[in-house]
Amino acid sequence: MPPEAARKPLGIFGGTFDPVHFGHLRLAEEAVDVLDLAGVRWIPAGRPALRDAPRAGPRQRLEMVRLAIAGNPRFELDPAEVETSEPSYTVPTLERLRRPDACGPEMPLALLVGFDAFARLEEWHRWERLFELAHLAVAHRPGHAIDPERLSPGLAAAFRRRLRREPGRLAAPAGSIVTFALTPLDISATRIRALLAAGASPRYLLPEAALAHIHQHRFYTET
């Protein structure tokens, strides 16, 4: 068997993670099993382009992810988007990973996104280029049922054309869409921030280490 046939895809998981929570962690953990990934590289956005400025700073969000994934050999942390002052766009990040000194051109890459994020894909910088660089692995998220009827016509057409229906590991480097179900966890960073702002407890919605970091630095409680 040629070595490339044995090569497992690498999951790429970007997000604001303001803060990271168990919805994110289960998405990444279950993706490894369902999609037979080599692992997941977490890439917190420094300056996310499509939303209001995050409440916690880039390095603080990076640190919360570091604490949350510590000890899981399936996960690794990529600080590159946090270490630049450029806006965070996924296409340049994937182009960086495609360089020979990183993953190279052949390794299958699977960009992990929830359906709510996927539904806004056309707003992403050079979104069609994404499919030349990676597969899109779209996760179910409570309240965001995977339904092409809910997509804009251009994205729905791309979804139907690229949707991979046959089982088995992603072997090509890029270009397909796969969907996957995971344990439904109706958790959002918005809800966690709201609980903290109200003086209520978000405990058991996110890892204790991340919550301790939030309390230590008083994130999300001050207006």
Q: Which residues bind ligand ATP (CB under 6 A)?
A: 15-18, 23-24, 27, 113-114, 116-117, 139, 141, 185, 187-190
Q: Which residue has the tokens 């058991």?
A: 204
- State the CB neighbour count (10 A cutoff) for residue 6: 9
Is 117 or 178 the residue whose CB approaches ligand ATP more closely?
Answer: 117
* Residue 67 near residue 36, CB atoms below 8 Å: no
Q: How far apart are CA 115 and CA 63, in angstroms?
A: 26
Tokens 């919360």 sit at which residue? 64
204, 164 in Cβ contact below 8 A?
no
> Which residue has the CB atom at the shortest distance from ligand ATP?
114
> Which residue, 80 or 185, has its beta carbon nearer to ligand ATP?
185
Q: What's the length of the chain?
A: 223
Residue 49: CB minimum distance to ligand ATP, A: 12
Cβ 4 to ligand ATP, closest distance in Å? 28
Find the shortest distance in angstroms from Cβ 18 to ligand ATP.
Answer: 5
Taking Cα atoms as reference points, which of 11, 88, 83 lies closest to residue 45? 88
Residue 85 or 190: the one with the smaller Cβ distance to ligand ATP is 190
> In the complex, what is the shortest distance from the CB of residue 10 to ligand ATP, in angstroms, rounded to a whole number?
17
Q: In whole angstroms, how close is the CB of 105 to ligand ATP at the nearest point?
A: 25
Nearer to ligand ATP, 124 or 129 (CB): 124
Please report how close the Cβ of residue 124 comes to ligand ATP at its closest, in angstroms: 12
Neighbour count for residue 55 (Cβ, 10 Å):
18
Question: Position of tokens 């539904």?
Answer: 119
Q: Which is nearer to ligand ATP, 24 or 98 (CB)?
A: 24
**DSSP symbol at 147:** -
Q: Is 77 exposed, middle or buried (0-12, 13-18, 19+ CB in 10 A)?
A: middle
Q: Which is nearer to ligand ATP, 101 or 222 (CB)?
A: 222
